[in-house]
Structure 1
Amino acid sequence: MDSTAKSWWYLLSTAVFLAVAAWAPLYIPDWLLVLEIAFSVLTGLLLLRLFVIYHDQQHHAILPKSKVAEWMMRGFGIIALSPSSIWRASHNHHHNHNSKIKGSHIGSFPIMTLDHFQKASKSARWIYLFMRHPVTIFSGYLTVFMHGMCLRPFIMKPREHWDCLLALMLHAGLGAWLLMFHGWDDWLLVQVIPHAIASAIGSYLFYAQHNFPDVSFYDKSGWTYDRAALESSSHLKTGPVMAWFTANIGLHHIHHLNARIPFYRLPEAMAAIPELRNPKVTTLLPRDILRCLRLKVWDVKKQRMVGLDESDA
C-alpha cells in the first residue's frame, strides 16, 4: 500500500519546511517579533506532522525497506524526545493491548475501574489522577516526552535505551548553545515553544483518541483486536489544515485496525469501506476537549468512562 515516491515526498518536504521554519527566528530582526513567533508556532506544528510521519515509518507503513529512511527517522526520534528503542516497544504494546482494562497502561494513559480507584491507596489515587491531569497532558514536553519517553526508560534500562540519554543530552546541548550565543528569547522561539506546542497537541491527541465519552474498555474475555480498534479508538475530526499538520492521525480507528496503512491513504480507506464510516467521534472544539478531560475512571456497571463527580468516590 506504500507508494515510495509519495512517502519520500511527504517525508522530505516536511523535513525541509521544518528546518527552514525552525531556524528562521535566528535570522529575523528582533523588531519583527510577531513574525518570529509565527515561525516558532509553525515549527511546532511541523514537528507534530513529522512526528506522525515518524510514527508511520516506525510501524513500517511507509518506506519499510529503506535503511536511509530508518536512520533518518531514528535521528528524528531523538530530536523529538521519542527515541526508537522506547517508542517501538511501548507503542507496539499499546496497539496490541489497546482498551484492555488491565495491561493497557504501557504506552498509554492509565485506566482504573471505579471500584479499583475507590479501593486504591491515597498515593495510588494521586499518581493516577496526576498522570491523567490536564496540566500533565498539556505539559507533555516535560512530562510525557522528556520524562516518560527519555529519562525514565534510560534509568530503568540504560543499555537498552541509550538513545534516550542521547536525546536528553542533545536537548541540553542545543539549549545551552542557544542561551550562550543567541539569548533566552531565541532559546524560547527555536526550542521551547515549538517542542511545547508539538508535545502538548501530540499528548492530547493520544489521550483523546482513547479517552472520549463513547469509548469502550474490556476485560480479557470481551477483548478482540478489531473491537478495540473500532470501538475504543476515535475519529478525531479536524479541519483540512489541522488534518495536514496531524497527518490524518485523527482517523485513528482505521490506523488501529491496520497500522500498515500509510497516513496519506487513511481517507481513501474510510471512503472505500462502508464499515469504517460510522466511527465514534470527538473533535478539537473546546466543549469536546472538556468532555474528554473530565473522564477519569471506567464504571463497569454503566459501561462507560465517568468523571469523579459522577461516582461515589
Structure 2
Amino acid sequence: MPRTAAWQLVTTFLPLLALLAAMQAGLALGWWWALVLGLPAAGLTVRVFALQHDCGHGSLFRTQRVNDLVGRICSLFTFTPYGHWRRQHAGHHAVWNDLDRRDRGTDIYSTCETVAEYRAMGRGRRRAYRILRHPLLMLLVFPPLVFLVLYRVPYDAPVGWGREHRSVHLTNLSLLASYGGFSALLGIWPVTAGVLAVMMPASIAGVWLFSVQHRFDGVHWARHAAWDRVAASLAGSSYLRLPAVLRWLTASLGFHHVHHLAPRIPNYLLEACHDAHPAFDTARVVTLRETFSALDHLLWDEEAGRMVTFKEAEEALPNDGLDGLRGGPSLLNRSVASSAAPHAGRFRRRLALGEARAALPDAPTALRQTCVTDGNSAT
C-alpha cells in the first residue's frame, strides 16, 4: 500500500518540521522553548526511526530503491546511518533469543547473560556488569551517546563491510552539511540546543522501546538446537500494549511478536495481523506499567526457564559472597522452587507454543499472504 506509506511520511514529517521551525523561532525568545517543543518533536523522531526501520526491512514501500531513499532521508533526523544499522539489525533478527548465537557486541539492549555465566565472572567483573546495566546508565546516559557519538563511527563492523563503512561516513558528511548549513544561518548554539532537546528524549524512548520488547519477565530463550522461529517470536518478543497515541508514535512496533515472525509486514498491517490469527494470543502482553519492572530482568536462568533480576540471582549464592561458586546451583534450585508458583501462568503459556507452531507451519509465508493481500509492501 504505497499510498498508506506516503501518507505516513506526510503526517510525520510535516508536524516534525513545523515543530523544529517553531523551536528555532522560540529560542530567540527563551531557551525554555526547546524544552516545551522538544518532547513532541522527540516523539515524532521516534516515529521517523520506526519508518526508517521498516525501510531497512524493505517493507514500507514496494521497491527497495524507494525504501533506501526514504531510509537515508530519515537518517538525517535520527542520526542513524541507514546502511550500517540495517545490516546490524538484520543480524539481530537472525540470532535473537538464541543462547548459542548471542550478539555480544552491539545488541546489549536485547541480549543477556545466563545466571551461570554471571556467577562464573570474578567479583570485580560482576560489579562492573551490574553498574553498566544500571537503568540510569542504560536508559538515560548511554542512549544519547549511542545515537550522537557511537553512530559516527562504523563500530562493530568488520573491514569487509565496505558498504556499511561508507554508509557511516556519508551519513556524517550529510549531517555536517545540513546541520552546518543551519548553524551558519541560525547560529551554532540554537541548532545545537534544538538537536539535544530532540535527540536526548528520542534516543532514550527508542532504546527503552527496544529493550522492553526483548527483555521482560516471561520472555523465553533457547539453545540453538531447540530454537524455533515461531516460538522465538511468540515467546521471545513482547506484545507491548500501549495507549493509542504512543502506539501511533511508535508505528505499532509494540506488536513486536508479529514483526519478528514476519519482518516484511509493514507497520500499518501489524495490528491487523495480530488480530487475524489466534496463535498471537499466546504472546506475552507487557503493559506500560510493567515496562518499569521489566528493565530489571537482565539474566536468563536456564534451570528455572525464566529471566531473573540481579537480586534474585545473588540471593541464591552461598553466604560466603559472590565468589563462592561451589554449592550454588543447589541453592539456586531451592530459590527457584520456592518462587515457582507465581510463574505457573508463564509455563502454561509456553505449553501453548506447540499449538501455535502447529497453527503456523509456514508462519512468515502464511502471514504475508494473509496480511499483505496486495503484495505491494512485502516484495
In the superposition, the TM-score normalised over structure 2's length comes to: 0.73
The CA deviation at 1:296 is 2.2
Q: Look up the SS of the partner of 2:49 in the other structure.
A: helix
Q: 2:39 aligns with which of 38, 41, 44?
A: 41
Q: Look up the SS of the partner of 1:260 in the other structure.
A: coil
CA distance in structure 1 between the partners assigned to 2:148 and 2:26 by the alignment: 29
- The C-alpha deviation readout for 1:104-136, integer Å capped at 9, x for no partner, is 325522311111111124565466445533222
Change beyond 3 A, Cα 1:289–1:175:
farther
The CA deviation at 1:20 is 1.6
Q: Look up the SS of the partner of 1:139 in the other structure.
A: helix
Change beyond 3 A, Cα 1:57–1:116:
same
Structure 1 unmatched runs, 5+ = none
Alignment check: 8 A CA contact 2:241 2:287 kept: yes
Change beyond 3 A, Cα 1:124–1:149:
farther
CA distance in structure 2 between the partners assigned to 1:137 and 1:175 by the alignment: 29
Corresponding residue of 1:108:
107
Q: 1:230 aligns with which of 228, 234, 244?
A: 234
CA distance in structure 1 between the partners assigned to 2:156 and 2:223 by the alignment: 31
Change beyond 3 A, Cα 1:31–1:265:
same
Q: 141-150 vs 7-16, which deviates more?
A: 141-150
Q: 2:256 aligns with which of 239, 242, 252?
A: 252
* One-letter amino acid of the structure 1 residue matched with residue 61 of structure 2: L
Query: 1:126-205 counterparts in 2 under 5 A?
Result: 128-129=129-130, 132-134=133-135, 135-153=137-155, 157=159, 159=162, 160-168=164-172, 174=179, 178=183, 181-182=186-187, 184=189, 187-188=192-193, 190-205=194-209
* One-letter amino acid of the structure 1 residue matched with residue 112 of structure 2: I
Q: Look up the SS of the partner of 1:218 in the other structure.
A: coil
Corresponding residue of 1:276:
280
Change beyond 3 A, Cα 1:182–1:122:
farther
- Higher CA-based Rg: 2
* One-letter amino acid of the structure 2 residue matched with residue 51 of structure 1: F
Alignment check: 8 A CA contact 1:40 1:193 kept: yes
Alignment check: 8 A CA contact 1:78 1:164 kept: no
Change beyond 3 A, Cα 1:154–1:273:
closer
The CA deviation at 1:21 is 1.4
Q: 109-118 vs 168-177, which deviates more?
A: 168-177
- The C-alpha deviation readout for 1:9-37, integer Å capped at 9, x for no partner, is 11233122222212211123644766553
Alignment check: 8 A CA contact 2:241 2:285 kept: yes
Alignment check: 8 A CA contact 2:139 2:208 kept: yes
- The C-alpha deviation readout for 1:32-84, integer Å capped at 9, x for no partner, is 76655332211111110011011111111111316344213123224412212
Corresponding residue of 2:331:
none
CA distance in structure 1 between the partners assigned to 2:278 and 2:123 by the alignment: 47
Corresponding residue of 1:86:
84
Q: 261-270 vs 205-214, which deviates more?
A: 261-270
Q: Look up the SS of the partner of 1:161 in the other structure.
A: helix
CA distance in structure 2 between the partners assigned to 1:224 and 1:176 by the alignment: 50
Change beyond 3 A, Cα 1:116–1:154:
closer
The CA deviation at 1:269 is 0.9
Alignment check: 8 A CA contact 1:130 1:136 kept: no
The CA deviation at 1:294 is 1.3
CA distance in structure 1 between the partners assigned to 2:144 and 2:312 by the alignment: 31
Structure 2 unmatched runs, 5+ = 323-379
Corresponding residue of 1:207:
211
In the superposition, the TM-score normalised over structure 1's length comes to: 0.87
Q: 1:292 aligns with which of 291, 294, 311?
A: 294
Q: 55-64 vs 136-145, which deviates more?
A: 136-145
Change beyond 3 A, Cα 1:282–1:141:
same
Corresponding residue of 1:10:
8
Change beyond 3 A, Cα 1:141–1:176:
farther
CA distance in structure 2 between the partners assigned to 1:54 and 1:137 by the alignment: 21
Alignment check: 8 A CA contact 2:257 2:283 kept: yes
Q: Look up the SS of the partner of 1:247 in the other structure.
A: coil
CA RMSD of aligned residues (A): 2.7
CA distance in structure 2 between the partners assigned to 1:211 and 1:137 by the alignment: 14
Corresponding residue of 1:75:
73
CA distance in structure 1 between the partners assigned to 2:168 and 2:133 by the alignment: 23
CA distance in structure 2 between the partners assigned to 1:262 and 1:17 by the alignment: 22
Q: Look up the SS of the partner of 1:108 in the other structure.
A: coil
Alignment check: 8 A CA contact 1:141 1:195 kept: no
Number of residue pairs matched by the alignment: 308
The CA deviation at 1:299 is 1.0
Corresponding residue of 2:334:
none
